[in-house]
A and B are shown apart, each in its own frame.
Chain A
Amino acid sequence: MEIVSNYLLSFILFSPVVAAIIVVILPRDQDNLIRWTSFILSLIPLGLSIALWISFRPNEPGFQFQEQRIWYAPINSSYHVGVDGISLTMVLLTTLLTPLCILASFSIKDRVKSYMALFFLLEFGLLGVFLTLDLLLFFVFWEFGLVPMYFLINQWGSEGGEREIWGGRKIPARLYASFKFMIYTMAGSLGLLLAIQMIGVVAGTFDMTVLFKIWPQLNEPLFGLSASTVKAIAFWAFVIAFAIKVPVWPFHTWLPDAHTEAPTAGSMILAGVLLKLGAYGFLRLVLPLYPQQSQAYAGALGLLAVLAIIFGAFASYGQTDFKRLVAYSSVNHMGFVVLGIAAAAFAIGSENATIALNGAVLQMFNHGLSAAGMFFLVGVIYERTHTRNLNEYGGLFPLIPVYGGILIFTSMASLGLPGLNGFISEFLVVRGSWPILTVYTALAMIGLLFTGAYILKGIKMVLHGPMNEKWSGHITEINFREIVVISPLMVLMLWIGVWPAWILNVINSAVMMFYRWF
Chain B
Amino acid sequence: MQFPILSIIVFTPIVAGVLILLIPAEKKTEVRMTALAAAAFALILSVWAYFSYDIPAGGYQFMETYSWVPQFGISYQVGIDGMSAPLVLLTGIVMFTGVLISWGVDDRPREFFAFLFILATGVFGVFVALDLFMLFFFYEIAVFPMYLLISIWGWKETREYAAMKLTLYLFIGSVISLVGALAMFFAAQMGTFDMLALETANYSVTFQKIVFPFVFFGFAILGGLFPFHNWSPDGHVAAPTAVSMFHAGVLMKLGAFAALRVGIMLLPEGAKFWMPWIILLTLVNVVYGAFIASVQSDFKYVIGFSSVSHMGLVAMGFAALNRNGLLGAGMQMFSHGVMTALFFAVVGMVYDRVHTRDIPRLGGFRRVMPLVALAFIVGGLVSMGMPLFSGFIAEFPIFMGVWGAQPWIAIVAAISIVITASYIIRIITKVFFGPIPEEFEGHVSDVTVLDKVALVMLSAILIVVGVYPAIMVPLVESGVNNILRLLGGA
A-to-B contact residues, CB < 8 Å: 70-75, 136, 139-141, 143-144, 147, 150, 154-155, 175, 179, 182-183, 186-187, 190, 193-194, 197-198, 200-201, 223
Asked if B388 and A72 make an inter-chain contact with CB atoms under 8 angstroms apart, the answer reads no
B483 to chain A, nearest CB (A): 14
Known: A74-B473, A143-B386, A179-B425. Contact between A194 and B396, CB under 8 A? no
| In the complex, B422 has a CB within 8 A of chain A | yes
What CA separation (Å) do A136 and B429 show in the bound complex?
29
| In the complex, B197 has a CB within 8 A of chain A | no
Known: A140-B387, A183-B422, A197-B410. Contact between A73 and B403, CB under 8 A? no
Asked if A197 and B400 make an inter-chain contact with CB atoms under 8 angstroms apart, the answer reads yes
Task: Name A183's contact: one of B324, B392, B421, B469 (CB within 8 Å).
Answer: B421
Query: Which chain A residue has the least Cβ–Cβ distance from B399?
Result: A197
What CA separation (Å) do A494 and B267 show in the bound complex?
73
Known: A183-B422, A197-B410. Contact between A147 and B429, CB under 8 A? no
Task: Name A193's contact: one of B414, B422, B425, B429 (CB within 8 Å).
Answer: B414
What CA separation (Å) do A443 and B409 show in the bound complex?
43
Asked if B381 and A74 make an inter-chain contact with CB atoms under 8 angstroms apart, the answer reads no
Asked if B387 and A190 make an inter-chain contact with CB atoms under 8 angstroms apart, the answer reads no
| In the complex, B407 has a CB within 8 A of chain A | yes
| In the complex, B4 has a CB within 8 A of chain A | no
Interface residues of B in 305-325 (CB under 8 A from A): 323-324
Please name 5 pairs of A and B residues whose Cβ atoms are closer than 8 Å in the assembled complex, sorted by A.
A74-B324, A140-B392, A154-B429, A186-B421, A194-B411
Most buried by B among A71, A139, A141, A150: A71
Interface residues of B in 414-431 (CB under 8 A from A): 414-415, 417-418, 421-422, 425-426, 429
Asked if A154 and B433 make an inter-chain contact with CB atoms under 8 angstroms apart, the answer reads yes
Asked if A73 and B473 make an inter-chain contact with CB atoms under 8 angstroms apart, the answer reads yes
B287 to chain A, nearest CB (A): 13
B-to-A contact residues, CB < 8 Å: 323-324, 327, 381, 384, 386-388, 392-393, 396-397, 399-400, 403-404, 407, 410-411, 414-415, 417-418, 421-422, 425-426, 429, 433, 469-470, 473-474, 477
Asked if A136 and B396 make an inter-chain contact with CB atoms under 8 angstroms apart, the answer reads yes
| The 6 nearest A-B residue pairs measured at CB | A140-B387, A201-B403, A187-B418, A197-B399, A143-B387, A223-B407
What CA separation (Å) do A154 and B381 show in the bound complex?
16
B362 to chain A, nearest CB (A): 15
What CA separation (Å) do A147 and B399 show in the bound complex?
22
Asked if A201 and B386 make an inter-chain contact with CB atoms under 8 angstroms apart, the answer reads no
Known: A155-B433, A201-B400. Contact between A73 and B474, CB under 8 A? yes
Known: A183-B418, A194-B399, A197-B399. Contact between A71 and B425, CB under 8 A? no
Asked if A182 and B407 make an inter-chain contact with CB atoms under 8 angstroms apart, the answer reads no
What CA separation (Å) do A71 and B388 show in the bound complex?
12
What CA separation (Å) do A182 and B384 show in the bound complex?
12
B333 to chain A, nearest CB (A): 16
Asked if B414 and A194 make an inter-chain contact with CB atoms under 8 angstroms apart, the answer reads yes
What CA separation (Å) do A75 and B415 show in the bound complex?
23
A15 to chain B, nearest CB (A): 16
Asked if B425 and A75 make an inter-chain contact with CB atoms under 8 angstroms apart, the answer reads no
Most buried by B among A71, A136, A150, A197: A197
B415 contacts across to A, CB distance below 8 A:
190
B470 contacts across to A, CB distance below 8 A:
70-73
Asked if B397 and A75 make an inter-chain contact with CB atoms under 8 angstroms apart, the answer reads yes
Further contacts, 4 of them, CB under 8 A, given A147-B386, A197-B403: A175-B429, A193-B414, A198-B403, A201-B403
B422 contacts across to A, CB distance below 8 A:
179, 183
A71 contacts across to B, CB distance below 8 A:
469-470
A223 to chain B, nearest CB (A): 5
A193 contacts across to B, CB distance below 8 A:
399, 414, 417
A155 contacts across to B, CB distance below 8 A:
433
Query: Which chain B residue has the least Cβ–Cβ distance from A121?
Result: B388
Asked if A144 and B388 make an inter-chain contact with CB atoms under 8 angstroms apart, the answer reads yes
B136 to chain A, nearest CB (A): 32
What CA separation (Å) do A175 and B387 show in the bound complex?
23
A180 to chain B, nearest CB (A): 11
What CA separation (Å) do A415 and B403 show in the bound complex?
47
Asked if A140 and B429 make an inter-chain contact with CB atoms under 8 angstroms apart, the answer reads no
Known: A186-B418, A190-B418. Contact between A74 and B477, CB under 8 A? yes
Asked if A182 and B421 make an inter-chain contact with CB atoms under 8 angstroms apart, the answer reads yes
What CA separation (Å) do A139 and B474 show in the bound complex?
22
B429 contacts across to A, CB distance below 8 A:
154, 175, 179
Query: Which chain A residue has the least Cβ–Cβ distance from B324?
Result: A75
B321 to chain A, nearest CB (A): 14
What CA separation (Å) do A141 and B421 show in the bound complex?
17
A190 contacts across to B, CB distance below 8 A:
414-415, 417-418
B381 contacts across to A, CB distance below 8 A:
147
B397 contacts across to A, CB distance below 8 A:
74-75
What CA separation (Å) do A200 and B399 show in the bound complex?
11
Query: Which chain B residue has the least Cβ–Cβ distance from A172?
Result: B434
What CA separation (Å) do A356 and B12 show in the bound complex?
70
A152 to chain B, nearest CB (A): 13
Asked if A75 and B387 make an inter-chain contact with CB atoms under 8 angstroms apart, the answer reads no
A449 to chain B, nearest CB (A): 40
B396 contacts across to A, CB distance below 8 A:
75, 136, 197
B386 contacts across to A, CB distance below 8 A:
143-144, 147
Query: Which chain B residue has the least Cβ–Cβ distance from A198?
Result: B403
B435 to chain A, nearest CB (A): 11
B477 contacts across to A, CB distance below 8 A:
73-74
What CA separation (Å) do A155 and B399 show in the bound complex?
33
Known: A74-B477, A194-B414. Contact between A182 and B425, CB under 8 A? yes
